[in-house]
Structure 1
């Protein structure tokens, strides 16, 4: 970057993405300073490095943002009731399969209301059914039958 560039000449790309060709490093620095930007080596070439005139702080910010965005695993959440219809259940399973193949993990929550608490065994059976249906595309990370939660990660 700027004065740290050791090469006597660089292939220069200006701030408007115009290729200016092989240029002396000193002249490239003067041009960068005239538009109040930085001269940054983008890649090391065999003959001369490729340098670009740009805002270095903005470049660092974008790289950091891109890196944190790609490294963040996402957890998708699906809330179900124990007396869900067959087609609605199948729709949520299909959506979970899409998410798992994309690389996201899926968390299923079964909510009980009122008298549904008397039939906790039906909700536990539903958790087992979810585990069986998703066993082909993912593996179970957590299965908590007491809290009625199952988390599946991509296989």
Structure 2
């Protein structure tokens, strides 16, 4: 509700001239005092709707109802926006087949739930000479989940890690 808190009402409006939108839809540019007088005549508030416009746009409405509608709208938007988490899977260059299958199953489940998966191969000590095995491991993972995932970041080296990021397909 941060946006509704920043809205200026009645005497908080700082402009000398404003574009007033009446309750019946009529609008024209008048000085602030005339706009406040019109709002008083209608027994409503003068609410600054578009402060960045030249001149600022103000509407004669009930401020309480305006805030209520704004809150409902923001709540609907938050409900619609799906939060996506980043799940991580760690491999070593010589990860065994059973362990790989187990972790690939985890990746599949994460992707089906709409989360992104960051898979990485951690190289320790002399493991760094097995970069090709790490690349093969990540490619196998990509092939394993390609029916439900897209590649957000291709496999690449980052220090002593080789990472890739997979995301769920948009149509799911």
1:151/1:98 CA distance change after superposition, 3 Å = same
Are 1:142 and 2:159 an aligned pair?
no
| TM-score, normalization by structure 2 | 0.50
Matching residue of 1:124: 135
Gaps of 5+ in 1: 1-39, 42-55
CA distance in 1, matches of 2:105, 2:114: 15
Q: 2:87, 2:117 within 8 Å by CA — same for their partners in 1?
A: yes
CA distance in 1, matches of 2:167, 2:86: 9
What root-mean-square deviation, in Å, do the aligned CA atoms of Structure 1 and Structure 2 show? 2.7
| TM-score, normalization by structure 1 | 0.55
Which of 67, 90, 108 matches 2:101? 90
**Segments ≥4 residues shifted beyond 3 Å:** 68-71
Are 1:152 and 2:166 an aligned pair?
yes
1:101/1:116 CA distance change after superposition, 3 Å = same
CA distance in 2, matches of 1:151, 1:101: 15
Query: Displacement, 1:67?
Result: 2.2
| 1:92-111 → structure 2 map (5 Å cutoff) | 92-111=103-122
